């Protein structure tokens, strides 16, 4: 402890009072407060008062950096030096969306280019699908290896996508739980510190962030999404992890499917190079380019694109995915015979529009919630997930749909569930007769400034 911090920190109520009155908070006081949260010395009432004061009065960049590093350091911070890895440790985080299977393709793809990707992912909550739920569609896949095993797999395979382990950023768990029940979730300083506190505890050399904008985005408006992207890039970079944030469109499902097993099927097709120009592949490629540049594995965008193309067409990226699945307990021949392992829904049927037309707009959140209702997501943390349900072959904005081309194919547990999902999907898609063009897929790039 530094001499300034040890002179005994402010009482928690003093720190809360300062923020309540819009006074600046010293970094060491923020640090002591967050440590108190991790040690359970600070009560939920005090956390709630603090988060509300931040929500109402905001935080300076310096304060957010202090909150972020304190959250990161509130538990175990991974160290990779002892492994002497021959490449950079990089990761990506997304604010979440529907049909967003980017991580599943990106991790193995970037690893095949010489990076090391210790990816700690979440489960789905609300309308967004969770990377872990998708991977758990694969029988035997265990996202909770021991820390030693996790390190071993990252070293040998280049990537391991696992779940949140016990002691990473424990302060965030408590703060997040309180924010959830005190209407203080939508604060950009608090969101920034929460996302980065967890991510930076992975001991990264560089981070790439995918911030969504549109009807399926976590942030309510494009301005807020932009503000969050900028905040994350700058705060992480200032906290010592160079970070780039991309602003990408989520005004429709990113992949043409939403669910768990259906997204794994799509992932395999992407890794086999079968959908080179699909929207999900474009976003994944952009993030991959940024990761290779940030990790100093290439010196230019052109070099990155060439390297990525080679990793895909040679089958190297698919091979890395296959190894990761095997190392984490999945079938050794999963890549070759996915159909023998993935669950299929009892009812699979096309959803046609009541009247033909061109897809003008999609309420992406509603599509995500429909997947949750089918049983493919969760509204509570402890709910179980049906991996077989969801939608595949989802029409895109600008597609003509009619009694030949469906809006999507629904995968459901029962006829009743399929009928409900059909009605929901029809309501979520606005059809019309004029030609329609989707929003720009890649809307902006923010490179962090220290």
Task: Please provide the size of the chain in residues.
Answer: 450
The pLDDT mean for the chain works out to 94
The mean pLDDT value for 347-360 works out to 98
DSSP 3-state percent helix, strand, coil across the chain (nearest 5): 45, 15, 40
CATH architecture type of domain 343-432: Alpha-Beta Complex (3.90)
**Catalytic annotation, pick one of 134, 198, 226, 323:** 198
81 pLDDT higher than 80? yes
Strand ranges, E, within 149-262: 159-163, 206-213, 243-249, 258-259
**Catalytic annotation, pick one of 51, 71, 131, 241:** 131
- Beta strands 258-259 and 390-392, pairing class: antiparallel
- Beta strands 243-249 and 442-447, pairing class: antiparallel
User: Does 121 qualify as catalytic in the annotation?
Assistant: no
**Catalytic annotation, pick one of 91, 100, 133, 249:** 91
6 pLDDT higher than 50? no
Nearest in space to 408 (alpha carbons), one of 216, 217, 258: 258
5 pLDDT higher than 60? no
Give the pLDDT of residue 128.
Answer: 80
224 pLDDT higher than 70? yes
Q: In what order do the strands lie in the sheet with 243-249?
A: 90-94, 206-213, 243-249, 442-447
Q: What is the DSSP string of 349-379?
A: EEE--SS-EEEEEE-HHHHHHHHIIIIIS-S
450 vs 445 pLDDT, higher one: 445
The 3-state DSSP class for residue 87 equals coil
Q: Mind listing the pLDDT tens digit for each residue in 87-138?
A: 999 999 999 899 999 999 999 999 999 999 999 998 876 788 789 999 999 9
Using CA atoms, how far residue 272 sits from 80, 116, 160, 313, 356, in Å, is 31, 21, 19, 8, 34
User: Does 173 qualify as catalytic in the annotation?
Assistant: no
392 pLDDT higher than 50? yes
Q: Mind listing the pLDDT tens digit for each residue in 249-300?
A: 999 999 999 999 999 999 999 999 999 899 999 999 999 999 999 999 999 9
177 phi/psi in degrees, rounded to 5: -60, -40
CB 143 within 8 A of CB 163: yes
- Name the pLDDT band for 409 (thresholds 50, 70, 90): very high
Q: Mind listing the pLDDT tens digit for each residue in 135-167?
A: 999 999 999 999 999 999 999 999 999 998 768
Give the pLDDT of residue 2.
Answer: 44
User: Does 198 qualify as catalytic in the annotation?
Assistant: yes
**Catalytic annotation, pick one of 123, 127, 179, 307:** 179
User: Does 91 qualify as catalytic in the annotation?
Assistant: yes
3 pLDDT higher than 50? no
Give the pLDDT of residue 7.
Answer: 53
403 phi/psi in degrees, rounded to 5: -75, -5
pTM: 0.94
Query: DSSP class of residue 138?
Result: S
**Catalytic annotation, pick one of 157, 184, 194, 215:** 194
Is domain 81-164+202-337 classified as CATH 3.50.50.60?
Answer: no
**Catalytic annotation, pick one of 199, 212, 323, 411:** 199
Least confident residue range of 68-77, 95-104, 118-127, 358-367? 118-127
**Catalytic annotation, pick one of 94, 95, 157, 215:** 94
Query: DSSP class of residue 136?
Result: T
- Name the pLDDT band for 331 (thresholds 50, 70, 90): very high
**Catalytic annotation, pick one of 72, 92, 230, 365:** 92
Alpha-carbon span 92 to 104, nearest angstrom: 11
The mean pLDDT value for 356-363 works out to 98
User: Does 179 qualify as catalytic in the annotation?
Assistant: yes
Domain boundaries along the sequence of the chain: 81-164+202-337, 343-432
User: Does 275 qualify as catalytic in the annotation?
Assistant: no
User: Does 323 qualify as catalytic in the annotation?
Assistant: no
Token pair 């290896």 in the structure block, residue: 145
User: Does 93 qualify as catalytic in the annotation?
Assistant: yes
């Amino acid at each position: 402890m530094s001499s300034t911090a040890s002179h005994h920190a402010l009482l928690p109520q003093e720190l809360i009072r300062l923020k309540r009155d819009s006074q600046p908070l010293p970094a060491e006081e923020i640090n002591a407060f967050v440590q108190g949260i991790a040690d359970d010395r600070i009560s939920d009432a005090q956390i709630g008062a603090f988060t509300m004061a931040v929500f109402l009065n905001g935080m300076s960049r310096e304060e957010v950096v202090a909150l972020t590093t304190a959250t990161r350091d509130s538990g175990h911070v991974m160290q990779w030096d002892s492994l002497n890895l021959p490449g950079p440790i990089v990761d990506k985080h997304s604010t979440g969306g529907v049909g967003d299977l980017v991580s599943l393709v990106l991790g193995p793809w970037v690893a095949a280019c010489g990076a090391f990707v210790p990816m700690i992912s979440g489960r789905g909550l609300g309308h967004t699908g969770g990377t872990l739920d998708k991977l758990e569609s694969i029988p035997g896949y265990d996202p909770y290896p021991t820390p030693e095993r996790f390190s071993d797999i990252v070293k040998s395979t280049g990537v391991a996508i696992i779940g949140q382990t016990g002691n990473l950023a424990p302060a965030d768990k408590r703060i997040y739980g309180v924010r959830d029940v005190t209407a203080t979730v939508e604060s950009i300083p608090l969101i920034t510190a929460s996302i980065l506190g967890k991510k930076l505890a992975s001991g990264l050399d560089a981070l790439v962030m995918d911030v969504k904008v549109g009807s399926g985005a976590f942030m309510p408006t494009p301005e807020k999404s932009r503000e969050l992207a900028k905040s994350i890039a700058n705060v992480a970079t200032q906290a010592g992890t160079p970070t780039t944030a991309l602003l990408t469109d989520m005004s429709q499902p990113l992949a043409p499917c939403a669910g768990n097993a259906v997204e794994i099927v799509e992932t395999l097709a992407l890794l086999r190079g079968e959908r080179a120009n699909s929207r999900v592949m474009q976003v994944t490629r952009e993030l991959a380019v940024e990761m290779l540049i940030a990790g100093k594995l290439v010196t230019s965008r052109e070099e990155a694109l060439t390297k990525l193309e080679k990793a895909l067409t040679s089958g190297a990226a698919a091979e890395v995915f296959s190894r990761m699945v095997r190392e984490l307990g999945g079938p050794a021949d999963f890549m070759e015979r996915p159909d023998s392992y993935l669950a299929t829904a009892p009812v699979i049927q096309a959803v046609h529009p009541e009247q033909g037309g061109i897809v003008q707009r999609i309420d992406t959140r509603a599509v995500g919630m429909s997947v949750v209702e089918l049983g493919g997501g969760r509204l509570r943390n402890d709910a179980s997930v049906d991996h077989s349900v969801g939608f595949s072959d989802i029409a895109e904005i600008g597609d003509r749909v009619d009694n030949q081309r469906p809006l999507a194919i629904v995968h459901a547990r029962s006829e009743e569930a399929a009928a409900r999902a059909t009605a929901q999907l029809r309501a979520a898609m606005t059809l019309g007769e004029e030609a329609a063009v989707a929003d720009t897929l890649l809307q902006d790039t923010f490179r962090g400034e220290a």
